Amino acid sequence: MTTKPPDLHIAYSLKTPEDSRRLYAEWADDYDRMFALNEDYQLHIHTARAFGRAGGQGPVLDVGAGTGLCGAVLADMGVGPIDATDISAEMLNRAMRKDVYRDAIEADLNEGVPVPRNSYSGIVSSGTFTHGHVGPEALTELLRIARPGAQFALSINAKHFATKGFAEKLDTLVQDARIAQPSLVEVRIFGDLATGENKDDTAFIALFEKA
């Protein structure tokens, strides 16, 4: 059991990949129960459903899969096959126990995902593009491993969508004819049972296709 219960303030203060590996190794066993359940976490549900409504199909890569919350929703919707990638081996181990993923890929997204070009027809990510995690520069790598026409559904913390450069990056990708014009859906990250100062936080789900 971890001595550090999952806490958003700790997660939002992460600065380096090693910080992420260390923290999520400590959290892996308790994340679903002590964070997702206790805080009425809903973002993974919104992201998976948005992907489905947009016509997303497999094979899908779940980016920053964590313990597999988003992948489980996708699987319940009949989407597959699904691969999981995350910087934390411990989180991936928990994810694979859900028996919804075809493969687990341990990788630092900022350094690339070790899969061939054009591997996936869908890319989803819930909770990765936020404070202290991964910035908009990682979108270039995700486009590399996505097939032409691949559907993306990426949740991006609303407070940082513009300030961290996500809006500018998406605009550039549109101008460069690398993606179709995104649609943005704003959703609450937590449900009505959430408490604390972050209970009303929102995220944008960016939906777009690779050109």
Per-residue confidence (pLDDT) for residue 198, from 0 to 100: 80
- Of 6 and 94, more confident: 94
SS (H, E, C) 58-111: CCEEEECCCCCHHHHHHHHCCCCCEEEEECCHHHHHHHHCCCCCCEEEECCHHH
Q: What is the pLDDT of residue 162?
A: 86
Question: What are 8-14's contacts with CB under 8 Å, separation 24+?
Answer: 8/196, 8/198, 11/131, 11/132, 12/130, 12/131, 12/132, 13/131, 13/132, 14/131, 14/132, 14/133
The Cα–Cα gap between 86 and 113 comes to 10
**pTM of this prediction?**
0.85
Q: Which of 48-52, 70-74, 91-95 has the lowest mean pLDDT?
A: 91-95
pLDDT, tens digit, 9 for 90 and up, residues 186-201: 999 998 887 778 889 9
Give all domains of the chain, ordered by start, each with its CATH number.
Answer: 8-209 (3.40.50.150)
Alpha-carbon distance of 72 to 75, in angstroms, equals 5
More confident residue, 74 or 33: 74
Which carries the bigger pLDDT value, residue 157 or residue 20?
157
Q: Residue 34 has what pLDDT?
A: 59
Render pLDDT for 107-133 as a digit per residue (tens, 0 to 9).
Answer: 999 899 999 999 999 999 998 887 656
